[in-house]
Amino acid sequence: MWGVPLMTSPAFRVFDSPAAAVRELAFEVSQLIRSRAAAGRQAVLGLATGNTPLLFYRELIRLHREEGLSFTNVTSFNLDEYLGLPRDHAETYWTFMHRNLLDHIDLPAAQVNLPCGTLPDGEINAHCAAYEERIRQAGGLDFQVLGIGRTGHIGFNEPGSPKDSRTRRIQLDAMTRQDAAAAFGGLEQVPTHALTMGCGTILEARRIVLLAWGEHKAPIIREALRGPVTDQVSASFLQEHPNAAFYLDRGAAGALD
Ligand code: PGA
């Protein structure tokens, strides 16, 4: 056959607003959860933190409260967690997930998985291996939601993260720490390291949607979608995923053709 590209870029969709994008995303996720429930099966979701998914979580909570969406058959795995903060620190992803989603829905605590950011160095490798094993035992990630950092990271896979990397400890990029400084009340308060699922862990998800809002994300979205596939921009690996999509607002799509 001719005229068929050897490599297709992941689909991207441009929405009028983040609210419109997350309605679509939440509908897709709710369909997965409901169809699995009807079959007596679990839906395995990979979840993200940051400003980007906040509206998505608000929409999931609305679906739970107003449209009877139950999460009792969901198993969740978060992408990442800062290292060295007490679990209930205001900026941990454990706190973020509970405040912005888990405290408001019926997802059983035993089915919630987040990397643990309080372990001594000597226990980290085993913890990361066990995290990978739990994902495998759950049957792999059905649906992974991603944000993107200005370094192009997905999870905390900073530039230089190999395509086949797995859950591990990582040093945060200076730009990533700078972007977190306001929330932490100063750059020196921002942790230097984190645990993150690897690019390989993420890319094994059967469906991936990356969300990005705002003009400040436009340059890195262009690199991720139109630039070379490179470990310098871990989101560029999504170009090679068979079922990944970028959901963008007009600002984030502003540097695309
Ligand atoms: P943000 O962070 O959603 O707060 O922009 C995204 C990311 O760093 O992955």
How many angstroms separate the alpha carbon of residue 114 from the centre of ligand 1? 17
Contact of 43 with 32, CB cutoff 8 Å: yes
Task: Please determine, for residue 5, whether its predicted confidence score (pLDDT) is greater than 60.
Answer: no
- Supply the pLDDT for residue 19: 98
CB distance 198 to ligand 1 below 6 Å: no
Fold of 7-249: Rossmann fold (3.40.50)
Q: What is the mean pLDDT of residues 53-74?
A: 98
Quick one: what percent of the chain has pLDDT higher than 70? 96
CB distance 234 to ligand 1 below 6 Å: no
Task: Write the pLDDT tens digit of every residue in 173-201.
Answer: 999 999 999 999 999 999 999 999 999 99
- Supply the pLDDT for residue 10: 66
What are the extents of the domains in the chain?
7-249
Task: Please determine, for residue 57, whether its predicted confidence score (pLDDT) is greater than 80.
Answer: yes
CB distance 202 to ligand 1 below 6 Å: no
pTM equals 0.95
How many angstroms separate the alpha carbon of residue 242 from the centre of ligand 1? 24
Task: Please determine, for residue 8, whether its predicted confidence score (pLDDT) is greater than 60.
Answer: no
- Supply the pLDDT for residue 2: 43
- Supply the pLDDT for residue 198: 98
What are the catalytic residues? 158
How many angstroms separate the alpha carbon of residue 147 from the centre of ligand 1? 5
Atom number, ligand 1, closest to the C-alpha of residue 146: 9
Q: What is the mean pLDDT of residues 58-75?
A: 98
